[in-house]
Structure 1
Amino acid sequence: MSECTNEHCFYAFDTLYCHLDPRAEPIPLGFPDTKYPLFVTWNIRSGSASPRLRGCIGSFQPLDLKEGLQEYALVSALNDTRFRPIQAHELRKLECGISLLTDFQDVPTYLDWELGTHGIYISFPHPATVPAVPSSSADTTPSSSSLTLSLPFTKRRSAASKYTKPLTATYLPDVAPAQGWTKLEAVDSAIRKAGYDGRITDDVRRSIKMRTYQAKKATVTWEEYWAWRTWKEAQAESSDEEDEGEEQ
């Protein structure tokens, strides 16, 4: 399989719909169950306004599509801590986007990627955990990994004890263009998303390990999903009637 299709979105929509309405019967899987890293995105549409994010979570580990879409359709809808869980009354305003991730690559610096083509995954140590170096020795180019920190040693040591893991964040390829960001603005926003609330300096940016990726994406609205589900149910009923006729 070389593309993400609407049917992947329909399957995620169906998972959420059947979860919120236990009386509903799920539609059987209709696409190859190959493995991909994936993200499921839920947006709310309201009139002519731009879609508003309602949940987005995924996995960078390759997953069987059937299980992966089932799991993250619900995780992104119900467990994204930035939002309250999606409710049944919101279904008709939703659109679902599926991103199948490909072409992962580690790049030398935080600016070595293309807007609209690459998603970014950043990882960096909290500045409080990095030993200070003399400011005169710091390189000001993006590729430099040297850091100059202004925290006094005692405060830096105290703060460092709180951070044992790197800070991480990601943005899918379509996020930066949708927000109108430059590459630098996208990186700085990712730094904030990772949980760093200090001053963002060139030293912080140079400490980033950057991994890029691309995405095959499809998006459908509730109306498109419901038309698909209605068609699938009609097919199933027609097949059942034919089976009954043959038995008679």
Structure 2
Amino acid sequence: MPDYSITDEDGIILVRSARKIVTKFLKGEKYQLDEPTKKRFSFDSGIFVTLNVSGELRGCIGFPLPRRLSDALVDAAIAAATEDPRFLPVSADELDGITFEVTVLTPPSQIRTDDPALLPGMIKVGRDGLMVKQGAHSGLLLPQVPAEYGWSEKEFLDNTCHKAGLPRDCWKEKRTQVFSFEGIIFREETPNGEISRQTL
């Protein structure tokens, strides 16, 4: 994990702020984080904001590479609600049925091996998120995704390649770069409800 600590209180602030940001944006208003919050999250980190309705994905956008967290939270929250190409933009009247989730990411680290067949043994479902790159293609899956679907490490690699628009077994090719990272996940238990740290 990184050399900073994300407390439960931090997670509550991040998730509540994400909801406020989206609510204000959908009403045509601008939401500014207050100065103490900006200062608290002035370090650089990757972040993803995920929206769910009744356990089904409604939007997920973020930044895998570290950037100032206070700024990235605003951009990721708005993008998750309005710019995920898989979904129509969220409307204001949907918000009472949506749960918000924020995942703070450690910096991606490339997994290096001379034998790609060893890759499944070098990652762990329930701990790692994955990012795959090959040429202009890239794809990322957060740590919670394989845990939710019950995938093996090989299936996790296959599906990350698929997310990148590549053949599922592209991770076996030496020209494919595979990166891992960890995530600190906070989620509303119900829309606008209690917020808790998630363990996979």
Q: TM-score range by the shorter chain?
A: 0.7 to 0.9
What's the CA shift string for 1:64-91, capped at 9, x where partnerless?
Answer: 2221111110111100101111111210
Q: Which of the pair is proportionally richer in strand?
A: 2
* Preserved CA contact (<8 Å) 2:129 2:181: yes
Which has the higher relative contact order, 1 or 2, with Cα contacts under 8 A spaced 6 or more apart? 1
1:2 corresponds to 2:8:
no
Over the matched positions of the two proteins, sequence identity in percent amounts to: 23
Structure 2 SS opposite 1:67: helix
CA RMSD of aligned residues (A): 2.2
TM-score normalised by length of structure 1? 0.65
What's the CA shift string for 1:147-198, capped at 9, x where partnerless?
Answer: xxxxxxxxxxxxxxxxxx33211111110010111111122122221113x5
- Unaligned residue ranges in structure 1 (runs of 5+): 46-50, 125-164, 226-248
Higher deviation after alignment, 55-64 or 10-19: 55-64
Higher deviation after alignment, 11-20 or 53-62: 53-62
Relative distance call for 1:97 and 1:181 in structure 2 (3 A) is: same
* Preserved CA contact (<8 Å) 1:11 1:29: no
- Unaligned residue ranges in structure 2 (runs of 5+): 195-200
The residue that corresponds to 1:13 in the other structure is 19
Alignment of 1:25-44 (within 5 A): 28=34, 30-31=36-37, 32-33=40-41, 34-44=43-53
User: Which one of 60, 80, 100 corresponds to residue 76 of structure 1?
Assistant: 80
Relative distance call for 1:25 and 1:193 in structure 2 (3 A) is: closer
1:209 corresponds to 2:177:
yes
Measure, in 2, the Cα distance between the counterparts of 1:102 and 1:27.
23
Q: How many residues align?
A: 176
The residue that corresponds to 1:222 in the other structure is 191
Instruction: Flag the structure with larger Rg.
Output: 1
What's the CA shift string for 1:94-142, capped at 9, x where partnerless?
Answer: 1111111115322124312000000001112xxxxxxxxxxxxxxxxxx
Structure 2 SS opposite 1:222: coil
What's the CA shift string for 1:13-32, capped at 9, x where partnerless?
Answer: 10000111246976736530
